[in-house]
């Protein structure tokens, strides 16, 4: 089992969701987050006062998958979120120790899907 | 019947207009609260709204008890004195020296709204770091010992600046220079917000600020056109030049932003509109449309420089630019009145510099200097007194937690439902 965390551009969320559904990945959690990468944020100007390094809005996805779903999920996110421009985001794949479905108490791979 | 007796002595159109305008000016203070509230951090927004709202309540009581008397009771002294304490003698008959066609109490309630918004303007200077208790006492003392005397000097029967021939149609000197200078003084002594130099503090809700600016623009028709104290041609002139100046200043600031900061900004555009309203205030009943465009364009130039460059160069934290817009805009407006005033607009006024009367400019300058000096010194003394007995500034910990929680035990926005 793996936990996939992806940081993507907010305006790409709908496309990523579409791709995930067509790869039959239906369980995601979405957060609005702030951050920046190597481009070090954006500048804002308030009454002539420039404020540098402001964090940008991003979307953070969390998807728990069984091992055979890792590649399809990563590919779906890539397809939906990639524009080739700076700021497209990152995908992290983490080992997942356990998973419990609260409704039934089921544990392990069966609880994910 | 008593009603008919009262009715005969005033003009119903004028009275309706002044009451309506009183309501319009009342709305400016909540409008200002949103203008300022949007500019602060989310943890301090209730603190700012509360400061504005409590002034609405506290000054309403101060005014009917003794504020109106100190400002407007006739007298050649420091202020009007206590002759009209508790509105004693301020009835429903007109008081001809102020307004022959409306009940005296209509004039009183209209003037109250000015007395309310003036101390509220100062809030912008010390936003996000003043203790509420200290703020309340500071404001009451300031209204009594700064606003009331200056209102008397400029507008009151027997006021010495009025007798000199100072032109201040709707309160450029009394309201805006006065509040602007008090803002500068308090910003200088209260000190910068913690981390002001290190970290940025962008406005937490600019749409609030735009809403507030729109309410200010709307209310300002009451402020300026209402100052004609009648439903007449002078009110129409004030209405037209007020709108024109605000529009010219909003456009000018947007263009300045575009040229010097890369993009026209929403905050810059509404700041320009407010600056334009400030600058036309003393002139509204004395100048024509052409002059109002010049006044509006130039006030944006001056304020743009003041808040964009001078403030950071000098290094004081006038957090929401109360001095930068009301002080600078007010001074320009008062002087511009001395430049552009014309008797052809208002025969009760005077001709200005451009109409063959350079002396008017000097009279205006004198009123500006007197107001600056008196307000600067008196505000300083009041601040120091309040600081000695109560302490003006919140603790560093309270400032970090925000005024909403530490001063009022409330939060403006919940994170979870």
Q: How is chain A split into domains, by residue range?
A: 2-112
Of A44, A48, A50, the CB nearest to B304: A48
Which has the closest alpha carbon to B32: B122, B147, B112, B108? B122
- Please count the other Cβ atoms lying within 10 Å of the Cβ belonging to residue B7: 12
Residue B309: CATH number of its domain: 1.10.3430.10
> What pLDDT score does B200 carry?
63
Q: CB distance A50–B257 less than 8 Å? A: no
ipTM: 0.76
Q: Token pair for residue A79?
A: 């397809």
> What pLDDT score does B198 carry?
67
Q: What is the pLDDT of residues B352-367, one digit of tens each?
A: 999 999 999 999 999 9
No. of helices (H) and no. of strands (E), chain B? 19, 0
> What pLDDT score does B3 carry?
47
Q: What is the pLDDT of residues A23-79, one digit of tens each?
A: 999 999 999 999 888 877 788 888 888 877 788 899 999 999 999 999 999 999 999
Interacting residues of B46 by C-beta distance below 8 A, sequence separation 6+: B403, B404, B408, B410, B411, B412
Q: CB distance A46–B267 less than 8 Å? A: yes
In chain B, which among 310-339 make CB contacts under 8 A with chain A?
A: 312, 321
Residues B74 and B157: beta-carbon distance below 8 Å: yes
Chain-centre distance of CA B210, in angstroms? 18
Report the alpha-carbon distance of residue B271 to residue B265 in Å, rounded.
Answer: 10
Q: CB distance B271–A47 less than 8 Å? A: yes
Give a yes or no: residue B417 inside a domain. no
DSSP reduced 3-state for B331: helix
Give a yes or no: residue B229 inside a domain. yes
> What pLDDT score does B312 carry?
85
> What pLDDT score does B196 carry?
78
Minimal Cα distance from B197: which residue of A?
A: A51
Q: For residue B307, give how far its alpha carbon lies from the nearest alpha carbon of chain A (Å).
A: 7
- Residues of B whose CB is below 8 A from A46: 202-203, 265, 267
Which has the closest alpha carbon to A20: A62, A57, A53, A48? A62
> What pLDDT score does B4 carry?
46
- Residues of B whose CB is below 8 A from A54: 200, 202
> What pLDDT score does B132 carry?
97
Interacting residues of B184 by C-beta distance below 8 A, sequence separation 6+: B125, B316, B318, B323, B327, B376
> What pLDDT score does B315 carry?
87
Chain-centre distance of CA B187, in angstroms? 17
Q: For residue B290, give how far its alpha carbon lies from the nearest alpha carbon of chain A (Å).
A: 27
- Residues of A whose CB is below 8 A from B202: 44, 46, 51, 54
Q: CB distance A47–B321 less than 8 Å? A: yes
Q: For residue A43, give how far its alpha carbon lies from the nearest alpha carbon of chain B (Å).
A: 11
Q: CB distance B268–A50 less than 8 Å? A: no
> What pLDDT score does B416 carry?
79
Q: CB distance A46–B202 less than 8 Å? A: yes
Q: Which domain holds residue B69?
A: 2-408
Match 């009209």 to its residue by tokens: B84
Residues B323 and B183: beta-carbon distance below 8 Å: yes
Report the alpha-carbon distance of residue B208 to residue B33 in Å, rounded.
Answer: 9
Interface of A with B (CB under 8 A): 44-54
Report the alpha-carbon distance of residue B133 to residue B330 in Å, rounded.
Answer: 29
Q: For residue B273, give how far its alpha carbon lies from the nearest alpha carbon of chain A (Å).
A: 13
Q: Looking at the 3D structure of chain B, how many domains does it have?
A: 1
Q: CB distance B309–A46 less than 8 Å? A: no
Q: CB distance B262–A46 less than 8 Å? A: no
Domain A2-112: assigned CATH number: 3.30.70.120
pTM summary value:
0.91
- The torsion angle over the Cα atoms of residues B294, B299, B301 and B303, rounded to 10 degrees, is 180
Intervals of chain B under pLDDT 50: 1-6
């Amino acid at each position: 089992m793996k936990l996939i965390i992806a940081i993507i551009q907010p305006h790409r969320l709908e496309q990523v969701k579409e791709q995930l559904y067509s790869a039959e990945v239906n369980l995601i959690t979405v957060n609005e987050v702030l951050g920046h990468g190597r481009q070090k944020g954006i500048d804002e100007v308030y009454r002539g006062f420039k404020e540098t390094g402001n964090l940008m809005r991003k979307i953070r996805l969390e998807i728990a998958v069984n091992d055979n779903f890792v590649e399809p999920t990563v590919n779906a996110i890539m397809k939906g979120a990639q524009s080739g421009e700076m700021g497209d985001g990152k995908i992290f794949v983490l080992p997942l120790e356990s998973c419990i479905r609260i409704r039934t108490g089921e544990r392990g791979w069966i609880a994910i899907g | 019947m008593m009603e008919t007796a009262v009715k005969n002595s005033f003009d119903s159109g004028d009275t309706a207009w002044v009451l309506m305008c009183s309501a319009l000016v009342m709305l400016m203070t909540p409008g200002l609260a949103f203008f300022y509230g949007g500019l602060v951090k989310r943890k301090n927004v209730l603190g700012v709204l509360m400061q504005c709202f409590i002034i609405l309540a506290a000054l309403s009581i101060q005014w009917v008890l003794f504020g109106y008397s100190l400002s407007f009771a006739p007298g050649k002294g420091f202020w009007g004195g206590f002759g009209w304490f508790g509105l004693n003698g301020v009835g429903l008959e007109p008081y001809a020296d102020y307004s022959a066609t409306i009940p005296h109490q209509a004039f009183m309630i209209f003037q109250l709204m000015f007395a309310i918004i003036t101390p509220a303007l100062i809030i912008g200077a010390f936003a996000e770091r003043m203790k509420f208790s200290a703020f309340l006492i500071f404001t009451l003392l300031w209204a009594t010992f700064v606003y009331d005397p200056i209102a008397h000097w400029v507008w009151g029967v027997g006021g010495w600046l009025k007798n000199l021939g100072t032109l201040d149609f709707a309160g450029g000197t009394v309201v805006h220079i006065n509040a602007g200078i008090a803002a500068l003084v308090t910003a200088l002594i209260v000190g910068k917000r913690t981390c002001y130099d290190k970290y940025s503090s962008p406005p937490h809700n600019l749409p609030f600020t735009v809403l507030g600016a729109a309410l200010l623009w709307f209310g300002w028709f009451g402020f300026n056109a209402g100052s004609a104290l009648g439903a007449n041609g002078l009110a129409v002139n004030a209405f037209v030049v007020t709108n024109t100046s605000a529009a010219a200043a909003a456009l000018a600031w947007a263009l300045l932003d575009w040229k010097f900061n890369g993009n026209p900004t929403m905050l810059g555009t509404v700041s320009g509109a407010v600056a334009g309203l400030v600058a036309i205030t003393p002139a509204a009943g004395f100048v024509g449309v052409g002059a109002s465009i010049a006044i509006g364009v130039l006030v944006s130039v001056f304020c743009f420089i003041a808040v964009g460059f001078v403030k950071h160069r000098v290094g004081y934290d006038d957090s929401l630019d109360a001095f930068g817009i009301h002080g600078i805009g007010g001074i320009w407006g008062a002087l511009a009145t001395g430049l552009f005033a014309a008797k052809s607009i208002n025969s009760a006024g005077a001709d200005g510099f451009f109409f063959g009367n350079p002396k008017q400019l000097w009279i205006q300058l004198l009123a500006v200097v007197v107001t600056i000096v008196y307000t600067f010194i008196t505000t300083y003394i009041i601040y120091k007194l309040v600081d000695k007995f109560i302490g003006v500034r919140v603790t560093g910990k309270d400032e970090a937690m925000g005024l909403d929680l530490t001063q009022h035990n409330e939060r403006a926005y919940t994170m979870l439902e």
